[in-house]
Structure 1
Amino acid sequence: MKRLLLLHLAFLFSAVSANAQDDLLGELDAEQVAESYTPPAFKALQIVTLQTTKVPAKNEFYFVVSHRFGTVKDGISEFFGLDAATTKIGGIYGITEWLSVSASRHTLLKIYEGSLKYRLTRQTNDFPLTIVGYNTVDINSFLDDEDYPKIEFTDRLTYISQLLISRRLSNKVSLQLVPSFIHKNLYNPAIENDKQFSVGAGGRVKLTSRLSLNAEYVYNVDAPDFYVNPLSIGLDIETGGHVFQLLFTNSQAMTEGGYITNAAGDWGDGDFFFGFNLYRVF
């Protein structure tokens, strides 16, 4: 009886040990897979105004507050634009490790915006790029039924599709390419197109462990001459649970359908806008 008991205990011990080894090997394999991914090219969800390839982790929630003030060109009479602020307030939620959804409200043109962001590929030692899809729908609630008696709900909509393609070149330098397609259901044909293609590019240079200098430029293909191409520069400041971005741009709007196609400022004349983005993660 004692021999049977000892034999049974020995069998249980060996089974538990084997399971423990399998679990440990599984954890090591998972760590090796995780370590094969290159760290994100950008710490923030935006370069300056353009989205980055960073996607929130599963169950992460970001609270977003952004401001764009008036033009600096107006000088001290408008306190260099600080008297005229537009605001964006929104939230972003990570549904999975590769998919997030967001919603926001913009005071400029009273726009409501919803978006999906989804990772298609990820930079590894064997693959050089991270590729992310980004789609948004804007609803312009500024248009008044009294001024536009025949307006329909679909007339208020703008659709944006982007492909975000980034590469982390080193611990300090990252670059990104952003081809975009924008379709506006309601537009002024004298100064804009209903369909607009653009190609944007941006980058990040890490200055210290908590500071980075960012810049971006978007070229609009076949755009009318009324608007200009947006050029923006910014400074990322990492402070624990959030990233704070200070920026200057020649486009005051904060929606993709706005800042890409409706930039009106001229850097050479001092006609640009100060602003910031604040992301707080929970």
Structure 2
Amino acid sequence: MKKFLVPLCLFLASMAYSQDDLLNSLDSTQVDGKTPVTAFKALQIVTLQSTKMAAKKEFYFVVSHRFGTVKDGFDSFFGLDNATTKLGGIYGVTDWLSVSLSRHTLNKMYETGLKYRLARQDDHFPVDIVGYSVADINSFLEKDQYPGLEFKHRLTYVQQLLISRKFTEKLSFELVPSFIHKNLYNPDIERDNQFSFGGGGRYKITKRLSVNLEYMHNFDKPDFYKNPLSVGLDIETGGHVFQLIFTNSQAMNESGYVTNAAGDWGKGDFFFGFNLYRVF
């Protein structure tokens, strides 16, 4: 535990002493004579991607953590004994295109992604529109369990369209239609192609604090999985955002988060976690 807490404290301290406060400048930059609007300060709402993107040549180092379910109480120290971690990076190739790569301890998942802006909310257009394309590689699968296993069976694909609007200085909202294709699946309980629809919102409480909420409805889920429902807090420090998260899905990749949420809020079965971003 000490090995985890010491680097975390150093990481948070470096965020607090960032040189430039970007909170006000983000919403006032002129592009081609227009004033683009920033609906979200963080790259994620809670677990879902937001329409915010890395700027050209920016690199984000990402650390996400989800502890186990809190329902077991002191038996698992409210989930701390069953934590999962995501480490990754995001690079802005241009102002409208970014690439990402991450590794998740849950299912030993590798994730690659492209995020690309299709339209920008400004003085003349009402919404942000961003595409998000992901390929997941499940390295946890073993041939002993799946004798006919090939590399293609490890792959899952996700395609999402992110449509957001900043309504006021305090309130932003985003819709997220989503399509997920799994090369390996159990036909008795699920389909290879799964559709979901939902979204999330952000309400700013103070200059540096907002509360976020998101929900996705999966049209093809089996009965023992739940639709993901998550709430989070954004804490802005010098232009960077630290996110505290409560969710009924422990997975941090889109395919697992949307289709394999196992927690039940009504039974106190949910997970605590956080997202940390450091931009270079």
Task: Normalising by structure 1, report the TM-score.
Answer: 0.87
What amino acid is aligned across from residue 204 of structure 2 in structure 1? Answer: K
Query: Per-residue deviation at 1:130?
Result: 0.4
Cα distance, 1:109–1:202 mapped onto 2, change above 3 Å: same
Contact 2:175 2:200 in 1 (8 A): yes
- 1:129-180: CA deviation from partner (whole Å, max 9, x where unpaired): 0000000000000001222221000000000000000000011100000000
Structure 1: distance between partners of 2:48 and 2:114: 14
**How many residues are aligned here?**
252
Q: Secondary structure at the match of 1:268?
A: helix
Q: Secondary structure at the match of 1:80?
A: coil
Structure 1: distance between partners of 2:62 and 2:138: 20
Matching residue of 1:13: none
Task: Normalising by structure 2, report the TM-score.
Answer: 0.88
Contact 2:37 2:120 in 1 (8 A): no
Alignment of 1:84-233 (within 5 A): 84-233=82-231
What amino acid is aligned across from residue 173 of structure 2 in structure 1? Answer: L
- 1:30-57: CA deviation from partner (whole Å, max 9, x where unpaired): x754562332100000000100000100
Matching residue of 2:241: 243
Cα distance, 1:169–1:129 mapped onto 2, change above 3 Å: same
The question of 1:54 aligning with 2:52 is answered yes
Q: Secondary structure at the match of 1:259?
A: helix
Structure 1: distance between partners of 2:66 and 2:96: 30
What amino acid is aligned across from residue 93 of structure 2 in structure 1? Answer: I
- 1:39-88: CA deviation from partner (whole Å, max 9, x where unpaired): 21000000001000001000000000000110010011211111110000
Structure 1: distance between partners of 2:121 and 2:35: 6
Q: Secondary structure at the match of 2:261?
A: coil
Cα distance, 1:35–1:268 mapped onto 2, change above 3 Å: farther
Gaps of 5+ in 2: 1-28
Gaps of 5+ in 1: 1-30
Q: Secondary structure at the match of 2:76?
A: helix
Contact 1:191 1:226 in 2 (8 A): no
Structure 1: distance between partners of 2:267 and 2:85: 25
Query: Per-residue deviation at 1:126?
Result: 1.5
Query: Per-residue deviation at 1:98?
Result: 0.3
What amino acid is aligned across from residue 48 of structure 1 in structure 2? Answer: V
Contact 2:30 2:36 in 1 (8 A): no
What percent identity do the matched residue pairs reach?
72
Matching residue of 1:256: 254
Structure 2: distance between partners of 1:44 and 1:65: 13
Moved segments of 4+, more than 6 Å: none
- 1:176-227: CA deviation from partner (whole Å, max 9, x where unpaired): 0000000000012233221100001100000111111000000011322121
Matching residue of 2:41: 43
Contact 2:190 2:220 in 1 (8 A): no
Alignment of 1:48-87 (within 5 A): 48-87=46-85
Q: Secondary structure at the match of 1:142?
A: coil
Q: Secondary structure at the match of 1:79?
A: coil
Structure 2: distance between partners of 1:161 and 1:171: 30
Structure with bigger helix share is 1
Matching residue of 1:23: none
Matching residue of 1:4: none
